[in-house]
Amino acid sequence: MGEPEAVGNGSKHALRRAVLRVRRTLTPGDLDAAAHALARQVLELPGFSTAATVAAYASVGSEPGTGPLLEALRERGVRVLLPVLREDDDLDWAVHEGPGTLVPAGRGLQEPSGPRLGPEAVTQADAVLLPGLAVDRGGLRLGRGAGCYDRVLARLAARGAQPVCAVLLYDGEVVDRIDGEEHDRRVATAVTPSGVHRFEAAEG
C-alpha cells in the first residue's frame, strides 16, 4: 500500500465521510496486502495469540480485511464467533465454520449460518476484534453510528468480562481527537497494517 492519507480530527460525521472517501480509493491489491498484514499483527498480539475463543467479524467491501485472520485462527483450533445483526441493532453471535458457510445479511453484511448463541455469547470470548472507522489517542472508537459495538463493550463491562479488545484500522485512521458522546466506549488497542497502537487512558 502507498502512504495512507490522514483523515483529520473532530466531528464524527466529518470523520466518517473522510475515512470512507479514502477507503474507496483502495485497490484490490491494497485490500489484500492490508488483510494479510493485519492478520500477522493480530496473531502475535498478547491475548489473541493464546485465545481459545475469539469474537470477530466478517469484513465486507473496503473494510480492513479479516478473511486471512479468521482462517488462521480456525487453523489454530480457535473457536471463532461472528456477529449476527438483530433488528434492534444489537448483536447475536454464532460459530464461524468457514468462509463457505457465510450468508448474505442486511446492510450488505455477511453472517454465519449456524445456530444463534444469544447476545451474551460474546462474554465467553478471550479476545474481541472490533470494526471501526477511526480511533483517537484516548481510545475513543468511531463506528458507523448504529451503536452495535458500543453495546458489546458495555455488555462486557457489565458482566465483568475482560477480554482483550482491539479495533482493526488502516494506517492513517488513528487520529488525535474524535468529538465523542456520553455513550461512546473506549478501547485499549488498535491494530493497523504497520503496527499496534495502545491507549493507556482507555477503559478495559
Q: Would you list which residues are annotated within the binding site for substrate?
A: 63
Tell me how far apart the alpha carbons of residues 45 and 3 are, in angstroms, rounded to a whole number. Answer: 24
Beta bridge partners of 127: 54, 164
pLDDT (tens digit per residue) in 21-42: 999 999 999 999 999 999 999 9
Decide if 140 contacts 179 (C-beta within 8 A).
no
**Domains (ranges, CATH) in the chain?**
12-198 (3.40.50.10420)
Q: What is the pTM of this model?
A: 0.87
Cell output for 134: 477511526
Nearest to 12 by CA among 134, 156, 157: 134
Buried b (16+ CB within 10 A) or exposed e, 132-145: bbbbbbebbbbbee
Q: Would you list which residues are annotated within the binding site?
A: 12-16, 63, 141-149
pLDDT grade, residue 9 (50/70/90)? low
pLDDT-wise least confident of 26-35, 112-121, 176-185: 176-185
pLDDT grade, residue 1 (50/70/90)? very low
3-state SS assignment for residue 198:
strand
Tell me how far apart the alpha carbons of residues 163 and 61 are, in angstroms, rounded to a whole number. Answer: 27
Tell me how far apart the alpha carbons of residues 113 and 184 are, in angstroms, rounded to a whole number. Answer: 30
Q: Would you list which residues are annotated within the binding site for ATP?
A: 12-16, 141-149
pLDDT grade, residue 3 (50/70/90)? very low
